Structure 1
Amino acid sequence: MSAAAARRKKQLANRKAAADPVQTRLDALLSDPTLVEESVAYEALQLAQSSVRRNVKIGNFPQAVEVAYSSSLGLLSKSGRVSVSSQLLAELVKVLVETHTAYTEEWGQKFACLDEAYRTALDSDTSMDPTERGRLQRLHLQFLRKGLKWSNDLGSTRHGALAMHALIGDHYWNMSCDQAVISADAEKGPAKSSADTEDDEFDEEDSEAGLRNEAVTHYALAEKTSLILEKLKSLPGPTDEESKLGHTCPPCQRDALLTRSVLSLLAIENLKDATTLVSSFAKEIETRTADELKKSYLDKTDGKAPSHIMFCSMLLRICEKDVKTAPLFTWLVRNFGAELGTMHNPEKIKSYTTKIGKVYFDIQPPPSMMAMMENMMGMMGGGGMGGGMNPAMMQNMMAAMGGGM
């Protein structure tokens, strides 16, 4: 080895052994009592971001994600500066995806620690402007949902890790109880910059009903039927107006959330938890007896709307049978259609019933107009028809589309 090569090797070894000045300064700030000051917190944020990017650049991926996690937790727990910490949380998810870090149960626990620290820091700032609080709540929702997507892409569980779904369910429910989120001013939300456009998919309706529907859906995906039941117990029963046959108002929120939960569970083929939820609801929450519910559901002269618990019970029994009960499923959904149509986001409800019909009874959804048009244009262009479409076939297709020739 030449003298120059030896010197170079020695220099590289010394540089590797030397402490990283950026990391050293960051560690000092994270243990400094002045971290509660905004300027100091921002300095720590910038140092953490610099350290993360440096470690990614040199290929030290484990250190990059560790710095992002530990710095985020330190900023939240020691400085309480949520707006500063939220920027580093976004960097954490970004580097987890960028470095193809696999999701593990340990990371699920780490996200739980970050979530708890975030909530504690947010609640401790009693002087925060409500609009800012609502913005930070939505930012944290984006962080959790990006984490869920990462756990789905780089984890071993379909639809994402159960622990991540549970965290998101909790956050949705907490948001539904936060006036800073559901108030009229917060509903407008902050103006979106170009940097926010990639997060549009995470935007959710900020109404109480919308947030709670999302919450129970994620609880269902997390297989947390006990949490769903706990939340439903905290809600009041139906009023006279909500129980009236042909009512135009939304149904009782408690009952609607039960139906949304059951449909979500059935759509992912989780009959066991759906049965447990319905059975527990009937025993612990519903005040009417089974005979009263059956009589009211079939009696169209009592002036009462069909009950959600009976619909869910009948739906479960039908789904436990074979595909021969498809006509009964179709009748049940059509019979309860008026009630389903008054629930929050009826299009989403329809997608659930369509999925259930396809999975359990092999009921294929009708082709959309666009699909039919694409099929027709493909056939007209000679795709598989030897240069053109049979005129009679084209006429039949146009008639089926409502535009008969």
Structure 2
Amino acid sequence: MYRALVGRTYEREQGNTALRPAAPASHHSFGRQQREGGIMSAAAARRRKQAQKRAAKTGGTPAGDPVQGRLDALLADLSLSEESVAYDALQLAQSAVRRNVKIGNFAGAVDVAYETSLALLTKSGRVAVSSQLLAELVKVLGETHTACDAEWVARFTRLDEAYRAALDGDGNMSPEERGRLQRLHLQFLKKGLKWSNDLGSVRYGHQGMHSLLGDHCWNMSCDASVVDKEKPLGGDDDESTAEEVEIELRGDAVGHYAMAERIDAILGKLRGLPSPTDEETAAGHACPPAQRDELLTRAVLVLLAVENLSGARSLAGSFLSDVSERPPAELKKSYLDKTDGRSPSHAMFCSMLVRICEKDAKTAPLFQWLVKNFGAELTTVHDPEVIKAYTTKIGRVYFNILPPPSMMDMMENMMSGCLSVLSSLVGWNIAQHGRDGRDGHESSHDAADDGGDAGWHVDPKSFHSRGMGAE
């Protein structure tokens, strides 16, 4: 047993212990199983490669695939507009997508999902059916690590246009269903943006995807089926009002427009909003600022946070010259005047912020003064934490201003310091005990060496006494 496990044997030759390799153990059945397993795995790999080659030759579809053939027939059928036929096509498309993913035909899988989704939208107009396949499409794009390029962004654009056309063309749809489908499409576009960021070549996502999201968010903010609901965007715990939902969607829209560098689109949207009222511009007002001012500030902060100084300068300057009713000279005077009864202007704040960011890091105190002086106005906007995050990043990027540590960070630092001290003390104690043990061990060896042979001798008979020697 010992010889079989170790594979070597000890033999005694002329009173010495020699090491001689032993014959390998015979495991014919085990070796045969290994070889057969290797042959089977290689055969499976060959079959898979052959299936991929056949799929490539047939345009991404395995030859003789009955599921794909049935799906093609349904998509060409004039009865596709019927709900039952559309659902049959959906199930066949989902099956074809998973089959292509399983055999490694990733391009065929995403093509089937895209083409079937577009056909369901343009030929049948079944938005609810197509939305399920769109969710499968964006999921498969991430699973198969399909790269985001200009062609796929154009495909998303065609899907978005077809989705909105089919949604607007259904006059019998209830407002609740319309709002639900709008929110589903918003989730689809957000997942597509994340996919373009993860598997694309543009940081923060492709500009085309940001543009689609900006358009959809703004359209949702103008849709009564979305805005007029008390809980349209969240679950049962969401108690957002219609006004809060509207400003949230429009804030997301101008943010995506800024990421897409669509300055003209932002100016066009802001130009169509009403001017600030006296209540919204009064000094120390408790109500939120005008939507136009708040959206301008958010768009400029987004542009500065991603270091797009030229876009921020263009937006702030164009707003002062083309959109604002008050001349720049009046805004400059009113910004520092505490007696005119007016709150600081958002347009002037954005213009000054851009000018400061164009300077070097020595203007950091001026940046801190500007943000602090305008802080009371920033606390009245919707979701002020988002605005604070943008100003914090701007201070870190342009002026190397680090945010103050939070209470949680301070507690974590204290705990880590205590643990490091404790670990060092424990290590010192272990080292001391080890040193004491080595000293005692060395003294015992010295005593043994004084009374006997100085060398270390192994008696070959000891192997026999333990049953470990050669026969």
Q: State the distance in 2 between where 1:72 and 1:230 align.
A: 32
DSSP-derived class of the 1:30 partner: helix
| Equivalence map 1:272-283=2 (5 Å) | 272-283=310-321
Q: State the distance in 2 between where 1:159 and 1:365 align.
A: 23
* 8 Å CA contact 1:36, 1:80 repeated in 2: yes
Q: CA deviation at 1:24?
A: 1.3
- Kindly tell me: are residues 384 and 274 of structure 1, through their superposed partners in 2, closer, same or farther at Cα, counting changes over 3 Å? farther
Identify which of 253, 258, 277 aligns with 1:239.
Answer: 277
Q: What amino acid maps onto 1:366 in structure 2?
A: P
1:123-168 deviation line (CA, Å, top 9, x unaligned): 1112211111111111101111111111011000110111001101
Task: Find out whether 1:346 has 2:391 as its counterpart.
Answer: no
5+ residue gaps, structure 1, are 193-199, 389-405
* 8 Å CA contact 2:258, 2:303 repeated in 1: yes
Q: CA deviation at 1:361?
A: 0.8
Query: Aligned Cα RMSD in Å?
Result: 2.2
Q: CA deviation at 1:184?
A: 2.5
* 8 Å CA contact 1:187, 1:206 repeated in 2: no
Equivalent residue, structure 2, for 1:142:
187
Equivalent residue, structure 2, for 1:85:
130
- Kindly tell me: are residues 237 and 206 of structure 1, through their superposed partners in 2, closer, same or farther at Cα, counting changes over 3 Å? closer
Q: State the distance in 1 between where 2:420 and 2:171 align.
A: 68
- Kindly tell me: are residues 188 and 220 of structure 1, through their superposed partners in 2, closer, same or farther at Cα, counting changes over 3 Å? closer
5+ residue gaps, structure 2, are 1-42, 56-61, 427-471
Equivalent residue, structure 2, for 1:35:
80
Q: State the distance in 2 between where 1:81 and 1:387 align.
A: 70
Q: What amino acid maps onto 2:417 in structure 1?
A: M
Equivalent residue, structure 1, for 2:256:
218
Task: Find out whether 1:375 has 2:413 as its counterpart.
Answer: yes
Number of residue equivalences: 368
1:200-229 deviation line (CA, Å, top 9, x unaligned): 9xxxx9710000001101111111111111
- Kindly tell me: are residues 381 and 152 of structure 1, through their superposed partners in 2, closer, same or farther at Cα, counting changes over 3 Å? same
Task: Find out whether 1:117 has 2:155 as its counterpart.
Answer: no
Task: Find out whether 1:304 has 2:349 as its counterpart.
Answer: no
- Kindly tell me: are residues 238 and 146 of structure 1, through their superposed partners in 2, closer, same or farther at Cα, counting changes over 3 Å? same
1:22-62 deviation line (CA, Å, top 9, x unaligned): 11111111121211111000000000001111111111111
Equivalent residue, structure 2, for 1:284:
322
Task: Find out whether 1:364 has 2:408 as its counterpart.
Answer: no
DSSP-derived class of the 1:382 partner: helix
1:91-118 deviation line (CA, Å, top 9, x unaligned): 1011111111000000000000000000
Task: Find out whether 1:336 has 2:374 as its counterpart.
Answer: yes
- Kindly tell me: are residues 384 and 165 of structure 1, through their superposed partners in 2, closer, same or farther at Cα, counting changes over 3 Å? farther
Equivalent residue, structure 1, for 2:199:
154
* 8 Å CA contact 1:318, 1:325 repeated in 2: yes
1:269-305 deviation line (CA, Å, top 9, x unaligned): 1101000111111111012211111111111111011
Higher deviation after alignment, 56-65 or 178-187? 178-187
Q: State the distance in 2 between where 1:163 and 1:35 align.
A: 31
* 8 Å CA contact 2:244, 2:382 repeated in 1: no
1:168-225 deviation line (CA, Å, top 9, x unaligned): 1111101100111111255276779xxxxxxx9xxxx971000000110111111111
DSSP-derived class of the 2:420 partner: coil
Q: What amino acid maps onto 2:168 in structure 1?
A: D
Equivalent residue, structure 1, for 2:303:
265
Q: State the distance in 2 between where 1:290 and 1:362 align.
A: 31
- Kindly tell me: are residues 180 and 206 of structure 1, through their superposed partners in 2, closer, same or farther at Cα, counting changes over 3 Å? farther
TM-score, normalization by structure 1: 0.87
Q: State the distance in 2 between where 1:188 and 1:258 align.
A: 23
DSSP-derived class of the 2:330 partner: helix
Q: Which has the larger radius of gyration?
A: 2
TM-score, normalization by structure 2: 0.75
Equivalent residue, structure 2, for 1:391:
none
* 8 Å CA contact 1:181, 1:206 repeated in 2: no
